[in-house]
Chains A and B, each alone.
Chain A
Amino acid sequence: MKHISITVNGDQHELLVEANWTLLETLRDHLRLTGTKEGCSNGNCGACTVMVNGRTANSCLVLAAEMDGNEITTIEGIASQGKLNPVQEAFIKDGALQCGFCTPGFIISATALLQRNPDPSEEEIRTRLAGNLCRCTGYDKIVMAVEDAAAMLRT
């Protein structure tokens, strides 16, 4: 086992992890943060997207052992003090989900995008979200929600 010290959604955790545990299984099975979903397990679908030091990553392709000293943000850490973040609000308002399985990953990716560019074009939204797959919505409502969240953030 390897000892790692990580910050998840602002909380410090000291963990003993096996070398072959992914960050995804560590978050879900050991920290019980089950908002991050397991989809394809090979980096295609983006359901497991989290932020590592502010950048998005597929947590299914990250080893927990790599993470010592890193800051991780999951969907559970996106709202602050009981208040949804604008991306979450916009997803609800625009109905940008159906089954909801892909939604945590989309919200993480969209939040990362808006932190980097508060006024992205539709093309940039679609490109930056290409690593998140949704089999229900056809994407239009998701793109619309990200545009609305961007507008909320700018006002």
Chain B
Amino acid sequence: MPDFDFAQPTSLNEALELFAADGEVRALVGGTDIVDQLKTGRRNADMVVDLKRIPELQRLEIEADGLHIGAARSLTDIAEFPVVLSDYKGLADSSVLVGSWQIQNRAGIGGNVCNAAPSGDTIPALLSHETSAIVASSSGRREIALSDFFAGPGQTVLQKDEILVELVLPPIPDDSASSYLRFIPRNEMDIAVVGAGSFLHLGSDGAVQKARIALASVAPTPVRARAAEGVLEGNVLSDELIETAAVAAVEAATPISDVRGSAEYRRELVKVLTRRTLGISRDRIVG
């Protein structure tokens, strides 16, 4: 591995000062992406800043405005958190799909988000829950809708001096549920050929009050399938409506052909996985 300096701040202010310095400063939480990227030269660093010991970045709690998850909190902790298991099931689904158990024990959710892989498994689940990213720099804080957070493969809108502090998932209403699933040709330990997450909220008349669908590995960034959401909202949920939405979801996909699958295959997978995630979310509401 190339040489770099290392710091382990215990407060956010201390960390923000480090990120305000010149040179390439890289955040490390679990290290499961960045250490490999440093070893192979896919990213470089003059300084690596371990953010795990900043209490604010380890938050995992429910507040009036929703679920707060610190950027350094491990995927294992998130997947085992009771409120995630009951109310944010799509996030629980996706957290146990990232790498292996060893990876989930170390990897922080902020790392999965900021690594900004088009295939990042937690991202569609977070997008379907309309997650906000709370970002800080030495000059202040800002809130960014996660749907505006990604700029391209491996790229986010974070400025050089900014840190992702936490993610906030709004409270969920009754009669709502989420799910995430992906297709890989193996059982475990692979990168999504396509991933699809959904959130559904049904009214008492059976009509869809809100639908959110997000896709992985079909565009330069994870994307919302807004046309499919529009197909669902205001209409009574049925198998036929889900099928129509699944077809509409393909409009959001601009996939490439690569070793994991052709563009045509991925478009077909978008249809199949959107249908399935909507079915799972519906079943979870009905119970």
Contacts and interface: CB of A to CB of B under 8 A. Distances in A.
Interface of A: 2, 18-20, 22, 41-44, 46, 49, 52, 55-58, 60-63, 65-66, 68, 109, 112, 126-128, 130-132
Q: Specify the main secondary structure of chain A where it touches its partner.
A: mixed
B36 interface: yes
B36 A66 contact: no
Give the residue among B2, B31, B52 with the most A Cβ atoms within 10 A.
B31
Contact of A58 (B1, B3, B102): B102
Which 10 pairs between the two chains have the least Cβ-Cβ distance? A131-B100, A130-B188, A19-B6, A20-B1, A55-B105, A65-B6, A61-B35, A131-B102, A56-B102, A58-B102
A102 to B, nearest CB: 13
Interface string B180-192: 0000000111000
Contact of A49 (B30, B35, B102): B102
11 contacts: A19-B4, A42-B40, A43-B32, A43-B99, A55-B76, A56-B102, A58-B100, A60-B35, A61-B36, A112-B101, A127-B188
Interface residues of B, number: 30
Contacts, number: 90
Contacts of A130: 100-101, 187-189
Given A44-B189, A63-B6, A65-B50, A109 B31 contact: no
Interface of B: 1-6, 8, 28, 30-32, 35-36, 38-40, 48, 50, 52, 76, 99-103, 105-106, 187-189
A126 B5 CA distance: 39
Contacts of A57: 102, 105-106
Nearest to A18: B3
A60 B36 CA distance: 9
Contact of A43 (B8, B50, B102, B188): B102
B35 A22 contact: yes
Contacts of B99: 43, 131
B3 A20 contact: yes
A43 B36 contact: yes
Contacts of B2: 20
A68 B9 CA distance: 12
B8 A65 contact: yes
A65 B3 CA distance: 13
A68 B36 contact: no
B50 A66 contact: yes
